[in-house]
Chain A
Amino acid sequence: MAGAMTRRSALGTFGAVGAALATGTLSIGTPARAQAQGQSQALGLQESVQDGLKRVFGGRPMKDGAALIKLDIPPIAENGAVVPVSVEVNAPMTPASHVKSIWIVADKNRIPIIAKATLTPEAGQAFVGANVRLGETTDVRAIVEQSDGTLLTAKREVKVTVGGCGG
């Protein structure tokens, strides 16, 4: 079922869908136990957000990036299982100056440092999106690191509803 197929899409910009099947599971040796969810030094730990930010960024100053960072996230999430987040940074993407990394952080999550995107200038635009899990109503932050080491941050509150007659 490889190949592009035209598909009705609510988003006018995308015409063709390139649908490709996975090649299947390849074993990479014996699966190693994920180290206390700390397989990447920046991510995956159950910790408070303050501890997480300190661990990842030390005390490095973070500038207010509200003017440059478009953090797109629904103000109310119908459920915490699938919350679409996207981050777009109004900044150049040249080899000399580009956005290097974007972290997505949810203050109240048990694992608050949710994901880290690493970009190259070939991206052409500092834009990433992902579907995340939110445990409860929380501030969600985008932390942007530029190639010169500057950190920028922006945040939005997301209210999470749980479901059932009362939530």
Chain B
Amino acid sequence: MSDIGKIRIRVPSNVKAGDVVRVRCLVIHPMEIVQRDAQGKIIDRNYNYITRVTATYLGKPVVAFDLTQSVSENPAFSFALKATAPGPVKVTFVDTHGGKYEATADIAFA
């Protein structure tokens, strides 16, 4: 069973209204790198890697990442958000093979 697309999100606890908090997320994904043949020529194929990460909080966009194959396999991303109310942080990852992976974590107030 492949773990591709499995996501973990970490949000802090004991959040108060107005706090700027940091969120980190990790997604299991091969982030395939460009391969070259024995002569050094790039092998042309549809490499599977995440091109976009979007994060929303309470349904509103907070941050988005545009990515390349220079980003690590099983990448982790961090960002900040201003906690205004308890509610969901949703991250979405999209890869070049049409994969779309989503997960949500809740900001809970102390």
Q: Do chains A and B touch in the complex (CB under 8 A)?
A: yes
Listed in ascending order, the chain A residues whose CB lies under 8 Å from chain B are 4, 13-31, 33-34, 37, 39-40, 42-44, 46, 81-84, 86, 93, 106, 109-120, 122-133
Shortest B50–chain A CB gap in Å is 10
Nearest A-chain residue to B69, judged by Cβ: A111
Give residues of chain B (1-60) contacting chain A, Cβ–Cβ below 8 Å: 4-14, 20, 22, 24, 27, 33-34, 42, 46-47, 49, 51-52, 57, 60
**Besides the known contacts A110-B70, A118-B63, A127-B80, 15 further A-B residue pairs in the complex with CB atoms under 8 A apart:** A13-B12, A21-B103, A23-B102, A25-B4, A37-B47, A40-B51, A43-B67, A46-B42, A82-B73, A118-B66, A119-B79, A124-B82, A128-B63, A131-B72, A131-B75
Nearest A-chain residue to B4, judged by Cβ: A25
Q: Verify B68–A113 contact, CB threshold 8 A.
A: yes
Known: A127-B79, A128-B79, A132-B71. A31 touches B66 (CB 8 A): no
Task: State A106–B61 Cα separation when bound (angstroms).
Answer: 27
Known: A19-B9, A125-B80. A120 touches B62 (CB 8 A): yes
Listed in ascending order, the chain B residues whose CB lies under 8 Å from chain A are 4-14, 20, 22, 24, 27, 33-34, 42, 46-47, 49, 51-52, 57, 60-73, 75-83, 89, 94, 96-106, 108
Q: In the assembled complex, which residues on chain B have CB atoms less than 8 Å from the CB atom of A28?
A: 94, 98, 100
Q: In the assembled complex, which residues on chain B have CB atoms less than 8 Å from the CB atom of A128?
A: 63, 65, 77-80
Known: A128-B77, A129-B78. A16 touches B13 (CB 8 A): yes
Shortest B57–chain A CB gap in Å is 6
Q: Can you report 25 A-B residue pairs in the complex whose CB atoms are below 8 A from each other?
A: A17-B11, A18-B10, A18-B104, A18-B106, A19-B105, A20-B7, A20-B8, A21-B7, A25-B101, A26-B98, A34-B49, A37-B34, A37-B47, A44-B69, A83-B72, A93-B82, A115-B70, A118-B65, A122-B81, A123-B63, A123-B80, A126-B80, A128-B80, A130-B72, A133-B71
Q: In the assembled complex, which residues on chain B have CB atoms less than 8 Å from the CB atom of A117?
A: 63-66, 79
Shortest A23–chain B CB gap in Å is 5
Task: State A164–B102 Cα separation when bound (angstroms).
Answer: 38
Shortest A130–chain B CB gap in Å is 5
Task: State A110–B72 Cα separation when bound (angstroms).
Answer: 14
Q: Verify A122–B60 contact, CB threshold 8 A.
A: yes
Q: In the assembled complex, which residues on chain B have CB atoms less than 8 Å from the CB atom of A81?
A: 72-73
Nearest A-chain residue to B13, judged by Cβ: A15
